[in-house]
Amino acid sequence: MKKPLVVITGPTATGKTDVSLLVAEEFAGEIVSADSMQAYRYMDIGTAKPTAAEMKRVRHHMIDVVDPWQEFSVAEYQRLAKYCIEDIQNRGKLPVVVGGTGLYINSLIYNLDFADTVSDKKFRGYLTRLSEERGKEYLYEMLRRVDPDTAQRLHINDTRRVIRALEIYHCSGRPMSARRDNGKADPPYDLVMFGLRMDRERLYRRIEERVDKMIEKGLVEEVKGLLKMGCTKDMVSMQGLGYKEIIGYLEERLTFSEAIGILKRDTRRFAKRQFTWFRRDDRINWKDAVGIGDRGKIVGSMIDHIKLRLEV
């Protein structure tokens, strides 16, 4: 029999952390993060990691598992996260996967095989030189022509993943999005998925408030500390929202107000892309997160749904 797995996802700033804590506490469960940025150590404020108090309430996994100067692939995430899920299930507890990184979630709930992923270092080097000579926009347009689905979910600045997608297409003759669709017919878990959403105006206001709070908590100082550790703006970790904008400010390419304005704008755009990604999955039970006063109602309906669907 397939073992139960709960997934709580949705765009950034919709309240996934608060809701997931309450759901996990109800079932004495444990949380497995599906956030590509929260995997990095020393990057706490800009990634909106759960606080120490929140992680004391419920045990968390897949947070602070890699240094920001190290490579961390979706294949590595899949391997580690599946081990965590199996361990939680073997101890008789309910794993609750929480996060907004769609590819990370798909790597768990579908039978995606990353072990035999093709590679061509020579072609990868060619693409790297092409990016340096013609710019990241040129590479992104190459990807958009051969794999528009993958291009849509990648940011134009994410050159490493754009190159990787082009490399996969070059080696296999098939787009990365087609590989991602493999195995979807038979999910390995008895799965219940929830998505949190809210109207655009409220979500954008919450995003702007979140960015302001990050600055108050010391995001600039956090970025300075990472740079002192040896992190550079070209690292994948430092391309994350909040980090590349503050680096632009520290390098005096942007004023402080420009950096904050760009961060808010790009976070809004990111949330829109996240929702576009998740709304394709008709197994997601969407919950409208209108306000704090509705949190109990949302969590209650989730708990009832889980009890009806799963033997927990």
- Tell me: do 259 and 275 sit in the same domain: yes
- Tell me: do 194 and 165 sit in the same domain: no
Supply the Cα-derived Rg of the chain in whole angstroms.
20
How far apart, in whole angstroms, are the C-alpha atoms of residue 219 and residue 227?
12
- Tell me: do 197 and 60 sit in the same domain: yes
Distances (CA, A) of 99 to 36, 88, 248, 278: 9, 18, 27, 12
- Tell me: do 78 and 168 sit in the same domain: no
- Tell me: do 211 and 78 sit in the same domain: yes
pTM over 0.85: no
Q: What is the pLDDT of residue 185?
A: 54
**The two structure tokens encoding residue 299:** 């969590």
- Tell me: do 161 and 195 sit in the same domain: no
In tens digits, the chain (312 residues) has pLDDT values of 889 999 999 999 999 999 999 999 999 999 999 999 999 999 999 999 999 999 999 999 999 999 999 988 888 999 999 999 999 999 999 999 999 999 999 999 987 766 455 677 888 888 998 999 999 899 999 999 999 989 988 889 889 889 988 988 887 667 877 765 555 556 789 999 999 999 999 999 999 999 999 999 999 999 999 999 999 999 999 999 999 999 999 999 999 999 999 999 999 999 999 999 999 899 999 999 865 567 788 999 999 999 998 877
DSSP 310: S
- Tell me: do 52 and 165 sit in the same domain: no
Q: What is the pLDDT of residue 292?
A: 52
How far apart, in whole angstroms, are the C-alpha atoms of residue 208 and residue 190?
37
Q: Which of 136, 166, 181 is the last residue of a domain?
A: 181
Are 8 and 295 in contact by the 8 Å Cβ rule? The answer is no
User: Count of domains in the chain?
Assistant: 2
Phi and psi based region of residue 92 (left: phi greater than 0; alpha: psi -120 to 50; beta: remaining): left
Q: What is the pLDDT of residue 179?
A: 62
CB neighbours of residue 271 within 10 Å: 22
Q: What is the pLDDT of residue 194?
A: 97
Identify the domain containing residue 255 by its residue range: 4-112+183-309
- Tell me: do 234 and 146 sit in the same domain: no
- Tell me: do 87 and 204 sit in the same domain: yes
Q: What is the pLDDT of residue 170?
A: 80
DSSP for 277-307, written as a single string: HHTT-TTEEEEE---GGGHHHHHHHHHHHHH
- Tell me: do 205 and 274 sit in the same domain: yes
Q: What is the CATH number of the domain that holds 151?
A: 1.10.20.140
Q: What is the pLDDT of residue 182?
A: 52
